[in-house]
Amino acid sequence: MIATVTHARVRASQGDVHGALRVLHGVLAVSPGDEEALRLRDELTGATPRLARRRAEALSGWIQRVRSRRRSRR
């Protein structure tokens, strides 16, 4: 695997924040002063609780829709 900031951005955009952080770790191991990688790492680290909350809200909404559909079928 080639670790690039672009690869990390793709992973993050797909919701794989931890995967993106692993890729950034690889980038920073080779280029510790890479400002773009550092900026994205800081952004993702701060965004992790926010993303988790959004995922939980989305999952909760999905569960409610499924329950509602099941009730309406009875």
Q: Name every residue whose Cβ is closer than 8 Å to that of residue 1 and which is 6 or more positions away in sequence.
A: 7, 23, 26
Q: How many domains does the structure of the chain reveal? A: 1
> What pLDDT shows up at residue 21?
95
CA-atom Rg of the chain in angstroms:
17
Percent of the chain with pLDDT over 70: 92
Mean pLDDT of 18-34: 95
8 Å CB contact between 19 and 42: no
pLDDT tens-digit map of 42-63 = 889 885 566 677 778 888 999 9
Q: Using one digit for the tens of pLDDT, what is the confidence trace for 29-45? A: 999 999 999 999 988 98
Domain residues for the domain of 50 are 5-73
Indicate if the pLDDT at residue 1 is higher than 80. Answer: no
